[in-house]
Amino acid sequence: MRLEAVAVGFGFGGGTPVLDGVDLALESGRISGLTGKSGRGKSTLGKILARHLLPTKGRVLIDGAAPVSSGFNPVQLIHQTAIFAVNPRWKIGRIVSEACLPDEALMQALGIRRQWLDRYPHELSGGELQRVALLRSLTPRTRFLIADEITSMLDPIAQSEIWHALIDVSEKRDIGILVISHDRALLDRVAAQTVTL
């Protein structure tokens, strides 16, 4: 499967566009990197690929066709801070089963403990909650993951553990991952190739 941004542009009002004529292609089963200075539009491009934002110019295509706009989104977006991506009034167990029942093996690979399921989001640490957000996003129908600085707030041990798990998942389930990061060393470790915006 192929996820493409074709000549994508995005701007607010009449100002200078954040993105102008950007092309990017992701293949399922491959991990690609996206880097660039602050303010270059990395996160905006990630949101456009996951269709959380509509581009003001250009198109996003899945296998050459416009993606369907309803139902499960095969392109899942993961943010830097997981606490803003979960419902604070839902327990973790309900959060991770929103799309489908979570996979036992995946729970283990991501280091998620059973006792977390009965807690509320604010009772977990940032690193624990990020694992929860990843588990929720990795359903059998997920084809692409847009990972926007997902481990930059975490300690190096948690970072290494999460990325090793994601590298395995990408290979086993044929999921394409876009790693958005400032950390060159991390991109060199996990991505097959890296684009600079």
Partner 1 sequence: MSVLEIERLTVSFHRRDGLMRRIAIDCVRDISLAVARGEVLALFGASGAGKSLLAHAVMGLLPANALAGGTMRFDGRVLDARAQAALRGNRIALIPQSVAHLDPLATVGQQLRWAARRARHPMTTPGAVEGALSRFDLAPAVAGTFPHTLSGGMARRVMLAMTTASGADLVLADEPSNGLDAENTARVFRCLKSFAEAGKAVIVISHDLSAALKIADRVVLLSGGQVAAEERAGAFAGDGGALSTAYARLIWNALPQNGFSRVRHEA
* CB nearer partner 1, residue 38 or residue 69: 38
Q: Of 52, 141, 172, 182, which one interacts with partner 1 (CB under 8 A)?
A: 182
The secondary element (H helix, E strand) that includes residue 58 is: strand 57-62
Longest dimension (CA), the chain: 51
Q: How far is the CB of 48 from partner 1 (least distance, A)?
A: 22
Count of Cβ atoms closer than 10 Å to residue 50 Cβ: 21
Binding mask 159-178 for partner 1 (x = CB under 8 A): xxx-xx--------------
| 185 touches partner 1 by CB under 8 A | yes
Q: How far is the CB of 6 from partner 1 (least distance, A)?
A: 28
Q: Provide the CB-side half-sphere exposure for 170 (13 A, CA).
A: 24
Task: List the Cα angle 172/173/174 in 5-degree steps.
Answer: 100
| 188 touches partner 1 by CB under 8 A | yes
Binding mask 106-145 for partner 1 (x = CB under 8 A): -----x-x-----------xxxx-----------------
Q: How far is the CB of 119 from partner 1 (least distance, A)?
A: 13
Question: Restricting to residues 35-54, which ones interact with partner 1 according to CB under 8 A?
Answer: 37-38
Q: Are 49 and 61 in contact (CB under 8 A)?
A: no
Output the DSSP codes for 78-120.
E-S-GGGGS-TTS-HHHHHTSSSPPPHHHHHHTT--GGGGGS-
- Structure tokens of 183? 């950390």
Residues lying near partner 1 in the complex (CB under 8 A) are found at 37-38, 111, 113, 125-128, 153-161, 163-164, 182-183, 185-186, 188-190
